[in-house]
Amino acid sequence: MNDKDGQGKNKLDAAKAAMTDLLRNSNSAVSLWTYPGGLTDESGCSPGGWYGGLHPANNPDPTDVDASIRVLTANGDTPTGPALQQVGEELQKAGHRSATILLVSDGESNCGPPPCEIARQLVSTGFDVRIPTVGFDISAQGREELECVASVTEAQYVDAADTEALRTEIGRYQAATLELEVKGPTKIVAGRAATLTAVVTNPSNVAVSAGQVSLLLVGHDNRRIVPTILAPRRRLPALAPGQSRELTWTMSTAPQQTGTVEWRVVASAPTSRAVVSDGTFKVVNSGLAIGDAGKILRQPAGVTVVLGDSFSSGEGIGKYEDELHACHRSPQAYGMLLGGQGAQMVACSGATTKEVTASPQHDTPPQLTALDALPQVPGLAYITVGGNDIGFANIVKGCMMGDCVADGQKVTDAFVDAKEAKGMLVDTYLQVLDEINSADKVSARKGKLAPLIVSPYPDMLWGANRGACMSPVAGTDLGFSAKELTFGKQLLGLLNGSARKAVEELQGRGYPIYFAEDVVDFAQPLHTICDKSPYFVPIAALDAIRRYADDVTFANAHRLNELAHPNQDGHYAWAEAIVAWSQRVEPQLPVSYPERRSNSGLGALLKKIFGWSAPSEVVVRHDLSTSAGAEPSEMEITAKAGDKIQLDLRGLAPNSRIVVRVHSHPVTLGSLEADAEGQVRGQVNLPPELLPGEHRLVILGSASDWAFKRVEMPLQVGAPVNLTRLLLLVLSLGALLAGGVLQVSARRRGQAARKR
C-alpha cells in the first residue's frame, strides 16, 4: 500500500480518502478493523483486531473512525485469510447473522490459509456473508484470489486501476440512496380511476432494510376530485443490491369534478435517504381521444386489428354490423373506437384460443386466417382471449341464475383451470405476433414491428362487503351472493394473472407485447354490474320472472348472450382506460423480431412419423342434466392422436355454448353451440401431436337450469398407427439396406478379385 498507483499517487492515501468519503455519507454505525496486528495464530499470522476501541459494541462516532484512519500506516504481512476468519467470528459472536465485508487489496495474501478457503468456511457455517472485492492496481495472482473470494460468497469482483476508480468503487458501498420512478396518466375523465405505478430500486451494493412508500395528494383542491385513496401507505420490503419493487395505486375520481390533481410519492427506509417524486394529472368531463394517448397507441405503422372473444367483439353493446350473425361484432367496441377509421374487426363472440388460431366459427374462418386475408397491413392489434377456454361465461351465468359455489370441487377446478391458462395463452399470443409480424408485413411497414396489446377482463363486481348484487326478484337466488362475489373476483384475478404472466414471459423473450392492466378497474367503484348505472348488461326483472316461469329462452337468445358484457358506456370507459394506461407506458419495441418458431418440435416430429394414418371417429354421448357437477363421467374414451370426436350432448341450456378441452397440459379443442332444444351435435379433433397416454376429455357448459357443468371423461390416447407394424417396417427397411450393403460389398470384392 506504500506503492504508487498508475497515476503516481500513493495507494494508502487513496484508500484513506475513499474511506473518508464512505464515512461522510454513511447513515450506519461504522467500526474499524485493521490487520496485521494482535495475537498471532497457530500459523504465525496476526489477523488484526478492532482498532483503538472502535468496536461495534461501542457505537463509535464516525469522526473518531475517520481520525483514526487518517493516521494509519502500512507495514507487516498481508494475512487476508486469518483476518477474514477473525472478523467473521467476531461478527457472529456479536449476534450478526449476515454481513457485507468489503475487501480491498493491492496484492496477494502472504500469510496463513488462502482467503478463498476461509470464505468457503464462513459460508458453510450458515453465516450469510457477502464479500465483494476490489483489486487496486493488482497483480494477476492477486486478482484470481479476490475473484475466488467474491465468487464463493455470491458477490462481485471489480478492478480499480487508479485512485479515482478506487474512490468510485468504494463509494458504491455508501448508505444506499433509493431510486424512485413513478408513472401515471396525464389526463383522465371524471368518475374514472387513475392508476399510478411506482418502481423503487436499490442501485447500491448495500442491502436496504424494509421501509415504506406513501402516496400523498398535495394540492388544496385534490380531495374534492379524489375523495379517498385505498392504502396510500405501503410497506416496502427489504431490497437486496440491485433489486426493485413495483407498487400500484388506483385512485377513483368523483363524477363531474374536474381540475388538476397534484400527487407526491415518497419512498424511505431506515438505512436510506428518502426519495420523492411529484406529478400531476388533469381530470376532465369530456371523453379521452386517441390524441391523448401515449406513444404506443399513436400513429401505428398500419391499421388496427381487433381479435379475440365477445369482450373484444362488442357483445353487449346491442348494435352489431350484422344483427343476425352470431359473432356480434360492433363498430363501437373498445378496439374499434381506439383504432378509428380503417380499424378491422375479426374478433367473434364465443371464441376460444382454438378459434383464434386454427378453427372456423359461425361460418367464418379462423381469426388468424381472416387477419392474413385482410388487404390492409396491420400496425397494432388488440386481443382478449382465454375466458371461454375455462368456461368463464358459463360460470358467470351459473352464478347469476343460481348458486355457483355450493359445489366446492367445481370452485377448485375453476381456480386450477385459470391458473393453468398461461401455457395456452403464451402459444396463442405468439401465433398472433407471428402473423402480424410476418416477414412480408414487417417489410411492408419498412421494418417496423406491430405491437400486440393484451387486455385483461374487466372486474364487473363490487366488493362482497357491499352485500349481495343484482337480485331483481326477492326470495330467489338470482344475482350474486357475497360468497359468489368473492369467488368471481378471485377467479377473474387468477385468469388475468395468467394473462399477465404470459405477456411478461414473451416480453422477456423480446416480443412486442403489452398488458393494459388499467382495464381491470375501469368500472370501479360506481359502475359495476351491481350499481345503478352499470357499465355491464345486468339481469332485468322481466327476464328473471321469465326464468322462474321456466321460459329459459328469455326474451331472445341474443339478450342472454349479452348478459354481464360491457355495454356502450362500458366500451367507452374501456377505451379511455387503455388511453390512460398508454400515457405511462414507454414503448420498448425491439429493432428486429425474435427468431421465428420452427415446426421441428416433438409434436411436429410425431406428426411426420404418423401422418399417413387416417383419423378415426369416436362418438361421445352424454346428458349434462344428469351429471353430478364436476364428478367424472363413467364413460371411458379410447382414441389416438388426430382422431375426430363426434359429440352428441343433451341437457344443455338453449343456445348456450360448450367448450371442449383435453387435459394433461390443458389444450382447448374448440367450442360448439347448443340448439333451441339444448342439444349439441358437432365435432372436435384431438391434436395430431397429442402424446400417447392417459388424458381427460373435459366439457364445460351450462345445464338446462343454467347451472355450470363440468364433465370429465377418462381419455386413453394410443399411437396414431400400429407400433408393431411400424417396427416391422423399420426392421424391413434396415434389412434391405443391410442387404444392399452386403451386395455392393460382395460385388466390390468380386471386382477386386478379377482385377487381381
3-state secondary structure labels for all residues of 31-75:
CCEECCCCCCCCCCCCCCEEHHHCCHHHCCCHHHHHHHHHCCCCC
Give the integer Cα–Cα distance in Å for 231 and 307.
Answer: 36
DSSP codes joined into one string, 627-689: S-TTPBPS--EEEETT-EEEEEEESBPTT-EEEEEEETTTEEEEEEE--TTS-EEEEEE--TT
Q: For position 562, what pLDDT does the model report? A: 87
3-state SS class at 584: coil
Class of residue 721 by CB neighbours under 10 A (exposed 0-12, middle 13-18, buried 19+): middle
DSSP codes joined into one string, 365-403: --HHHHHHH-SSPEEEEEEE-STGGGTHHHHHHHHHHS-
Q: For position 8, what pLDDT does the model report? A: 67
Give the integer Cα–Cα distance in Å for 174 and 357.
Answer: 54
Which whole-number Å values give the CA distances from 492 to 459, 463, 520, in the listed order?
A: 7, 13, 9
Three cell numbers, residue 656:
348456450
Please give the DSSP secondary-structure letter assigned to residue 30: -
CATH fold label, 11-172: Rossmann fold (3.40.50)
Three cell numbers, residue 382:
388488440
Q: For position 326, what pLDDT does the model report? A: 84
CATH fold label, 302-583: Rossmann fold (3.40.50)
Give the integer Cα–Cα distance in Å for 12 and 107.
Answer: 13
Give the integer Cα–Cα distance in Å for 528 and 313.
Answer: 20
Q: What is the number of other CB atoms lying within 10 angstroms of the CB of residue 175? A: 15
Q: For position 580, what pLDDT does the model report? A: 93
Q: For position 336, what pLDDT does the model report? A: 96
What stretches of 80-183 show up as alpha helix (H) in DSSP?
A: 80-93, 115-124, 140-152, 163-171
Q: For position 744, what pLDDT does the model report? A: 37
Please give the DSSP secondary-structure letter assigned to residue 187: E
Three cell numbers, residue 134:
476490489
Contacts of 725 (CB under 8 A, 6+ apart): none
Which CATH number fits the domain 611-683+693-718, given the four candidates 2.40.50.140, 2.60.40.2020, 1.10.357.10, 3.40.50.740?
2.60.40.2020
Q: For position 602, what pLDDT does the model report? A: 47
Three cell numbers, residue 48:
488484526
3-state secondary structure labels for all residues of 331-351:
CCCHHHHHHCCCCEECCCCCC
3-state SS class at 613: coil
Question: Mean pLDDT per segment of 10 residues, for the chain of length 756 residues?
Answer: 66 75 66 70 74 75 78 76 87 83 83 90 89 85 91 87 77 76 91 90 84 88 86 91 91 89 91 86 87 91 97 94 84 96 95 95 93 96 97 86 86 92 96 96 95 97 89 69 93 96 95 96 91 88 45 50 92 95 86 70 49 74 68 71 90 86 86 88 88 88 82 83 47 47 39 42
Q: For position 586, what pLDDT does the model report? A: 84
Q: Residue 276, by phi and psi: left (phi above 0), alpha (psi -120 to 50) or beta? A: beta
Query: Domain spanning 179-284: which CATH class is it, in words?
Result: mainly beta
Please give the DSSP secondary-structure letter assigned to residue 601: S
DSSP codes joined into one string, 450-470: PPEEEPPPP-----GGG--B-
Q: Using an 8 Å Cβ cutoff, are 662 and 669 in contact?
A: yes
Which element (helix H / strand E) includes 489?
helix 482-508
Give the integer Cα–Cα distance in Å for 522 and 528.
Answer: 9
3-state secondary structure labels for all residues of 251-262:
EECCCCCCEEEE
